[in-house]
Amino acid sequence: MASPEIHPSAIIDSGACLGDDVTVGPYCVIGEGVELGDGCLLHSHVVLAGPTIIGKQNKFYPHCVIGGRSQDLKYEGEPTYLKIGDGNTFREFVTVNRGTSPGESTAIGNNGHFLAYAHVAHDCVVGNGVIFSNNGTLAGHVTVEDNAIMGGLSAVHQFCRIGRHAITGGCSKIVQDVPPFMIADGNPAQVRGINSVGLQRHGFDKDQIRDLKESYKLIYRSNLTVKDAVEKLKERYADKEEDYPVQELIAFIQDSERGIIR
């Protein structure tokens, strides 16, 4: 394996740890407590602050700031963390903050794409395969599950959840949970339908997509309350396994603390 390739203008703290085949471009700053995995690429003017653990094959574009201190006003400088998986792309001016309480972490999974000016705040948990369009913004303690898509200029209130394979439309205001497989759009956001195209692209079969469409109609287009709609879904799909998409939808709604977007 090759040693790191570091531009002479870069500043790297002696307490940082760089893996093999890392490329650090001009005017980058890597702080104390940063662990950078093999094959990572830093274009110019990237700032990595620690304590931050970063996996392999991540790409950082100019002026992104990764691992900055929590912006929560309660934060008083305690040691907190950021953990990033493998294969992510962080485009220009993306910001990701560490956790707030002592020992707590912000966490990002694998193979995510964070486009220009996206922001992941303190204590968020972001899954695998996500896409944050330009200016997609999370407040603190937000959970974004695998393969979710954040529309450009969309903003998510603290403690909300964005379910697996869900989409938020551009300029959306998200103040409650977005159930998995759904499309939420507007200010304030409303659920408009299911993410049929995305589900097809990710290998969901026709029966699964049909059942999700029927579930959407029952929850959002009937005169039932959410609670009553969920009870009907539980009866209708009682014979399905726990990992069946409708069962996942039911569990997400039942676990919601803020309530779901209607």
Catalytic residues: 122-123, 140
Question: Which position has the token pair 């697996």?
Answer: 164
Lateral strand order in the sheet of 182-186: 5-6, 23-24, 41-42, 59-60, 89-90, 113-114, 131-132, 149-150, 167-168, 182-186, 189-194
Burial annotation 158-190 (CB, 10 A radius, 16+ → b, else e): bebbbbbbbbbbeebebebbbbbbbbbbeeebe
Cα separation of 185 and 154, whole Å? 9
Give the Cα separation of 136 and 132 in Å (integer).
5
CA distance 20 to 5: 9
The answer to whether the beta carbons of residues 244 and 237 sit under 8 Å apart is yes
Angle between helices 245-255 and 206-220 (to 10 degrees): 30
- Angstrom distances, CA of residue 170 to CA of 53, 55, 160, 189: 31, 30, 17, 10
What is the number of other CB atoms lying within 10 angstroms of the CB of residue 77? 8
Q: Are 180 and 252 in contact (CB under 8 A)?
A: yes
User: Which among 215, 243, 241 has a CA at the least distance from the CA of 230?
Assistant: 215
Residue at token pair 């959410």: 226
